Amino acid sequence: MNAPAVRPSELPAPSLEPIQGWHCTHMFYRINRSAWQALWPDARRRGLDALVSALDPAGAHAPARLQSFVVSGHKADFGTMAMDADPLKIDSVHQALLASPLGPALEAIYSFVSLTEISEYVPSVEQYAERLVASGEDPTTPAFAAKVGAYEKRLPMMNQQRIAPEFPTWPAMCFYPMNKSRVVGANWFTIPFSSRNSMMAEHAQSGMSFAGRVSQVVTASVGLDDWEWGVTLWARNPQYLKEIVYRMRFDEASAKYGEFGPFYVGYIKTAAEIAAHCRL
């Protein structure tokens, strides 16, 4: 039997804003030194002013979240991460840079477009209780009830952080895109949900062991970019970035089913600090 047709009145109104969550864009730039030196001094001054204005997270036209950072290594000189319900508000940051006097000396060398989401692997209160029982907890004890109650109180806040996250101000960060494997014998998308859920629970436990040292936001790019997810990590110290990625690579969800793209490592800086660091 065919499913009943959806009436136009039951459909959401056309909109650029997601039904749940925010748009997210990572942008990475390289400075063309020859083009920069060729600019008149006045143009360079106005270009620097435009950089400071465009990357001001408190600016009048800034997206809901905006952070900038210098990039370590040769892949880029600096980058931005922005989130907002309106994707054009995010893109306006990029367009403002290109349209400024700095634009002729600026090369956009990589971008990643995604959406925030609440993963299907985030356990409900009931699933969390089942995991406690599976780990040996006695469901009749006050301690069990306290743990479940605490999780129930935390869950709305954790989900809000997933769909409209605050960006940490910790000094070190990295970004990388990733897929789940589709190769014969290790096709993530042919595994039953219960097995995938169990592997992701193990993966989450590894991440939680770095609480207070590393913060993570995973955004979904399925249907939006070349990779399926983007992972952004912030750390109190760069060493923790190395340690958490190494630790989580041993989890089955990563070791057997993870495919990873280029890594970009950066250090959180204001636009003025980026200009000084890049000797502009």
Question: What residues act catalytically?
Answer: 176
Amino acid at 239: Q
Contact 173, 235 (CB under 8 A): yes
Which runs of E-coded beta strand occur in the chain?
23-31, 65-71, 78-84, 106-116, 172-180, 182-183, 186-187, 214-220, 229-235, 258-260, 264-268
CA distance linking residue 161 with residue 116, whole number of Å: 10
DSSP 161-226: HHHSPPPP--SEEEEEEEEE-EETTEEGGGS-HHHHHHHHHHHHHHHHTTTTTEEEEEEE-TTTSS
Helix, strand, coil percent content, the chain, rounded in steps of 5: 40, 25, 35
What Rg value do the Cα atoms of the chain yield, rounded?
Answer: 22
Instruction: Look up residue 132 and give its two tokens.
Output: 């406690």
Could you tell me the CA-to-CA distances from 42 to 47, 98, 101, 102 in Å, in that order?
8, 17, 9, 11
| Burial class, 219, CB count within 10 angstroms (exposed 0-12 / middle 13-18 / buried 19+) | buried
Neighbours of 225 (CB within 10 A): 18
Amino acid at 128: Y
